[in-house]
Structure 1
Amino acid sequence: MKPILIFFTIVWVFSHAEAQFDDKRCKCICPSLSSVTNKTEKSHTSRLMFTTNDPPNKCNCDEVVLPRVSTQMSANEMREFCPRCECKYENRKTTVIRVVVIIVIWVISILVIYMAFLIILDPLLNKRVKGSYQEHTNEDEDAVPGPMSHNMSVRGNVLNRVSTQQDKWKRQVREQRRNIYDRHTMLN
Structure 2
Amino acid sequence: MPVNWLCTCCVLHLTLVLYFAPVEAVLRCVCVCPKNLQVTENRTVFVKIIDEPKECVCEDVVHGSPMECLHCQCKHEMLAVTFIKVVIFIIILILSLLILYMLYLFAEDLYVRRYGRSCWATKPTRFGQQQSRLDRIRNSTEKWRKGLAEQRKNVFHRHTMLS
More strand by share: 2
**TM-score, normalising length: structure 1:** 0.44
Bigger-Rg structure (1/2): 1
